Structure 1
Amino acid sequence: MLRGFYTAAAGMLSQQRRQEMLTNNLANANTPGFKADQGSLRAFPEMLITSMNTETLPVKKRYQLNGIQTIGPINTGVYMQEALPKFKQGDIQETGNQTDLALIDGNLPVNPNTNRPGAIFFQVLDVNGEPRYTRNGNFTVDGEGYLTTTDGYYVTDTFGDPLMIFGNDFTVTADGRFFEDGEDTGQQIQIAYAEDPGQLVKEGNGLFRLDGANQELPSALDNPEITYQVKQKFIERSNVNIEQTMTEMMTAYRTFEANQKVVQAYDKSMEKAVNEIGRIS
């Protein structure tokens, strides 16, 4: 009976985590460049149930043997193993702002180990000067003339240095080169390439970081198989599907509610066992 408690409780916990993930996705539906998380549910290892019984042999001394009878496997519950972002391209929206940039995917090689395409990002520097990666191209220019995120993180060029805007009349080409008054400034925005985006760790405000010894992603410019387009005065919207997310939230709630009723039923059975069976003499 206690095993049923644990199985139903595990179901409640997994659906609670899934509901929290979906709620966060919905809250960021209007955040530029946000990548929705998707959860994967895993089952705990099954247990093989057997029963022990005693058999008496029909001989003079009536020997007794302990026999084992297999009943079958039993499920021990599920859990949400991890929440991984989906790097599918979001819709492109025109803003008219000079400093807004949208990164549009072109050809991205498929990783043979994961059978999934890689992903490309803008590279920025956090307050410690460490590289971070984002698809949020809602940039601005700070008081010193540097192109930054709304949080003040510097957007980098292909040399890893902060990009500086020298005037108000600048244009960005499809390959990320900057022109001021029609002249090439010699700067090109850095586009980083993640061969396996699953290795990236999601931080707040649409930022990702790379764990491990190598903290920096390679440049997409070094891979001739990669194609992309930088579009000025546009931003990439989040890839959250609002209708699908709301449907999944309702499903998660109903599943949580069903597991809750199972726990309540087991609780009543335990209460009856404690209060009534103990009275039998």
Structure 2
Amino acid sequence: MFSGFYNLASGMITHGKHLDVISNNMANVATTGFKVDTFTGQTFDEVMYSLVGNKDKNFIDIGERSYATVPSQLYTDYTQGSFDETGMPLDFAIDDDGRGFFAIQTDAGIRYTRAGDFSLDDEGYLSLPDHGRVLDVNGEEIALVTDKISTDDFGRMYTQNGGFLGQIGVYVFEDTEGLVKDPMGMFDPGGAQPEADTVRLHHGMLERSNVGLAQQMVKMISTQRAYQSSATLTKMYDQVMSHATGDLGRLQ
């Protein structure tokens, strides 16, 4: 009798989670290298209705039904974003159709990112501000001391006199499904072991986020309307059930 509440309440929860994901995408539209998330939902396992056939308890299935939709999983779109030319000496953008990542040594371990807006820390190491030091192709930190550098197309850095300083590492995962995005927008490898790859890097450029603002706005409006509809129907359903139980009570 009250199964409709399950459908409506779960719909509100699911739409609310969807709105959270959309809001996060929109908030990071200007975040360098950010990758858009897509929300999916699924139904509870079907509730089976059975009919007791005889004294031996042999059940006969007479139908199935799902009561609720619940938040299921977030999928990250790793499609490469467009590039902005900044002219900054320590900005780099990976040009490989979204496959590779920079490796950053953080306090929580090695994390991976597409953001290449680097700087020098207090000890002269190449770093991603507020996160940690950038690693080279061998997994080692890169000491530059100065930002007066030249580079080739593959992230090899040299002094003005031609001295080799190091090569920025770009790491590729065989399967990105195991990556977990943390609250800072960095990716935890989750036990996966990436391999260093030689790919093209653009010096003095940054990769934009791949968030389509117009698309996210459309999703937000449609999801907000769905949420409001579920809330309105829940109120109406509650009134109907109140009348039904009240009338049944008077009949008794």
TM-score of the pair, normalised by structure 1: 0.81
CA distance in 1, matches of 2:245, 2:203: 71
Superposed displacement of residue 191, structure 1:
0.8
Superposed counterparts of 1:92-241, under 5 Å: 92-105=83-96, 119-128=99-108, 130-212=109-191, 214=192, 216-221=193-198, 228-241=199-212
Greater than 6 Å deviation, 4+ residue runs = 50-53
Q: Which amino acid in structure 2 is aligned with residue 254 of structure 1?
A: R
Superposed displacement of residue 184, structure 1:
4.2
Q: Do the aligned partners of 2:48 and 2:61 also contact (CA within 8 Å) in 1?
A: no
Partner-residue secondary structure (3-state), 1:276: helix
Question: Across the two proteins, how many residue pairs are aligned to each other?
Answer: 247
Higher radius of gyration, 1 or 2: 1
CA distance in 2, matches of 1:204, 1:173: 33
Q: Do the aligned partners of 1:94 and 1:233 also contact (CA within 8 Å) in 2?
A: yes
Are residues 1:265 and 2:236 paired? Answer: yes
Change (3 A) 1:46 1:168: closer
Q: Which amino acid in structure 1 is aligned with residue 240 of structure 2?
A: S
Q: Do the aligned partners of 1:7 and 1:78 also contact (CA within 8 Å) in 2?
A: yes
Superposed displacement of residue 155, structure 1:
0.3
Contiguous gaps of at least 5 residues in structure 2: 54-59
Q: Which amino acid in structure 2 is aligned with residue 240 of structure 1?
A: V
In structure 2, what is the equivalent of residue 30 of structure 1?
30
Deviations 1:27-57 (A, max 9, x none): 000000111110112122334557899xxxx
Q: Which amino acid in structure 2 is aligned with residue 247 of structure 1?
A: V
CA distance in 1, matches of 2:147, 2:65: 68
Superposed displacement of residue 143, structure 1:
2.1
Paired-residue identity, %: 30
Q: Which amino acid in structure 1 is aligned with residue 46 of structure 2?
A: E
Contiguous gaps of at least 5 residues in structure 1: 54-67, 107-117, 222-227
Q: Do the aligned partners of 1:52 and 1:69 also contact (CA within 8 Å) in 2?
A: no
Q: Do the aligned partners of 1:102 and 1:235 also contact (CA within 8 Å) in 2?
A: yes
CA distance in 1, matches of 2:190, 2:147: 37
Q: Do the aligned partners of 1:134 and 1:208 also contact (CA within 8 Å) in 2?
A: yes
Q: Do the aligned partners of 1:166 and 1:180 also contact (CA within 8 Å) in 2?
A: no
Superposed displacement of residue 152, structure 1:
4.5
Change (3 A) 1:69 1:236: closer
Superposed displacement of residue 172, structure 1:
2.2
In structure 2, what is the equivalent of residue 44 of structure 1?
44
